[in-house]
Amino acid sequence: MFPPDFAWGAATSAYQIEGGWQADGRGPTIWDTFCHEKGRVFGDQSGDVACSSYELWEKDLACIQQLGLTHYRLSFSWTRLLPDGTTQHINQRGVQYYNKVIDDLLACNVSPMVTLYHFDLPQALQDQGGWVSPGIATHFDNYAKFCFQTFGDRVKLWITINEPQVCAKLGHEDGIHAPGLKEKGTTAYLVGHSMLLAHATAWHSYNSEYRAKQRGAVSLALNSDWFEPLDPGRGEDVAAAERELTFTLGWFAWPVFVTGDYPETMRSAIETRSKELGYGGAPRLPTFSKSDPTVLGTADFFALNYYTSRKVRPEDVSGQTLSMRSDQWAEDVLDPSWPISGVPWLAVFPHGLRKLLNYIKDAFNDPAVYITENGFAQVGPLQVEDRQRCEFYRSTISEVAKAVQEDGVDVRGYFAWSLLDNFEWADGFSVRFGLFHVDFSDAELTRTAYRSGREYASIISKYKSAQS
């Protein structure tokens, strides 16, 4: 069903699992600050301890082996390596930790895929203005080069930045992620721009300084739902669905994979709205200048995080003030035939992934694709026998197989989110995405496979035996 060397993975991120927030010289991040402010996160919880993977890495490794993964996607904590975000001060204990993780994985025949930035900006850099400060691309590039230099002999798959759209929008427009800003309709576009430039700078560094020797591949992970018109026969709905796809995925994928610039429909929608509201400042969507690094072509593969699908129709925004939402004027409607997982935003529609994969093939020049995240949330009392999630994984993976076999999409790998139940950002520990249950009430933080973990292991094992 899947090509040879298909990557079977699971994913995590540093802040969500590591804990040890002050251990061995780790510096503070914007998520430490955010969680320690009252009222930001469900139950005022934080990633101070989380799954304690900094202490209990061997337990995670045992889970990885139990699943039979070929790949494991983790992220580095920038401040565990560089406590103030700069290469002025390198924390050798952090280097030792990630060296051990990487070496242990390789010793078990598991290839690491490493994300450099998964939402956890060093607080010291936030204090200088964060993602909109002029020096941020250089700081990120220095951090990336340090990682390529230190770990690139063994890490061959790199993600620079995870979900720039989420960082920009949830962190700077909606204020529900760190750093908690609500600067509607302005800052998110600047943050997205900075992230694209930071990514491109790091990709060029890899390309010119490390690629020949290390022979790895570098990309950025883009999140998108699949958006389709509420009424496919209605032109306005079709246009609204396209607008939303453009504002979510096209915002980053278009510059990187197609033209080196933002989609024209996005720019014109934003400009039109600025005029309607008499907004007189500089264009809210920045322009790329000649002195910027080239963004076009700075991805060696397409890394997609997919969770859900939406039906879309135009939204009447006439009474609304400046915001990204009113720039898009598209309204999401959940299809009642799609079952809801544990969280209201995650409607289960595996076929949407196949459609999105086909869209990516057509719109972005048939790239090699890794599905770097996909998963199903559970809430409430523990259900180790999580049959609904088993069904979710079976049908999603079968949609991926169809995209590969019947539609010719070049999918190279699939990473389930997540290896373990973990700190789910603003939802704290109330939402569980793990293939392994973590008992957060027990000092040992015991990991126990869900039925879906065993199911995923059996899918992987069938694949492996068909290959041999």
Residue of the chain from 53, 91, 142, 162 that contacts ligand GAL (CB under 6 A): 162
Nearest-angstrom CA–CA distance, 130 and 157: 26
Tell me: does residue 433 bind ligand GAL (CB under 6 A). Answer: yes
Buried b (16+ CB within 10 A) or exposed e, 401-429: ebbbeeeebbbbbbbbbbbbbbbbbbbbb
Q: How far is the CB of 431 from ligand GAL (least distance, A)?
A: 7
Nearest-angstrom CA–CA distance, 168 and 190: 8
Of the two residues 173 and 373, which places its CB atom closer to ligand GAL in the complex?
373
Active-site annotation holder among 228, 242, 373, 424: 373
Q: How far is the CB of 424 from ligand GAL (least distance, A)?
A: 5
Of the two residues 409 and 431, which places its CB atom closer to ligand GAL in the complex?
431
Residue of the chain from 174, 373, 399, 455 that contacts ligand GAL (CB under 6 A): 373
The DSSP annotation for 344-364 comes to: TT-B--HHHHHHHHHHHHHHT
Buried b (16+ CB within 10 A) or exposed e, 380-397: eeebeebeebbbbbeebb
Please give the residues from 298 up to 317 whose contact with ligand GAL meets the rule CB under 6 A: 305
> Could you tell me how many helices (H) and strands (E) the chain has, helices first?
17, 13
Of the two residues 237 and 386, which places its CB atom closer to ligand GAL in the complex?
386
Give the count of residues interacting with ligand GAL (CB under 6 A).
12
Of the two residues 223 and 326, which places its CB atom closer to ligand GAL in the complex?
223
Q: How far is the CB of 107 from ligand GAL (least distance, A)?
A: 27
Of the two residues 256 and 426, which places its CB atom closer to ligand GAL in the complex?
426
Residue of the chain from 364, 425, 436, 450 that contacts ligand GAL (CB under 6 A): 425
Binding mask 261-300 for ligand GAL (x = CB under 6 A): ----------------------------------------
Longest dimension (CA), the chain: 65
In 3D, which of 159, 136, 170 has the Cα closest to residue 34?
170
Please say if 373 is a catalytic residue.
Answer: yes
Q: How far is the CB of 373 from ligand GAL (least distance, A)?
A: 6
Nearest-angstrom CA–CA distance, 85 and 87: 7
Buried b (16+ CB within 10 A) or exposed e, 363-376: bbeebbbbbbbbbb
Please say if 244 is a catalytic residue.
Answer: no
Residue of the chain from 30, 35, 41, 166 that contacts ligand GAL (CB under 6 A): 166
Nearest-angstrom CA–CA distance, 236 and 315: 10
Nearest-angstrom CA–CA distance, 159 and 38: 32
Active-site annotation holder among 163, 228, 244, 331: 163
Tell me: does residue 223 bind ligand GAL (CB under 6 A). Answer: yes
Nearest-angstrom CA–CA distance, 462 and 456: 10
Phi and psi at 161, nearest 5°, equal -125, 135
Tell me: does residue 417 bind ligand GAL (CB under 6 A). Answer: yes
Residue ranges in contact with ligand GAL by CB under 6 A: 13, 16, 162-163, 166, 223, 305, 373, 417, 424-425, 433
| Residues designated as active site | 163, 373
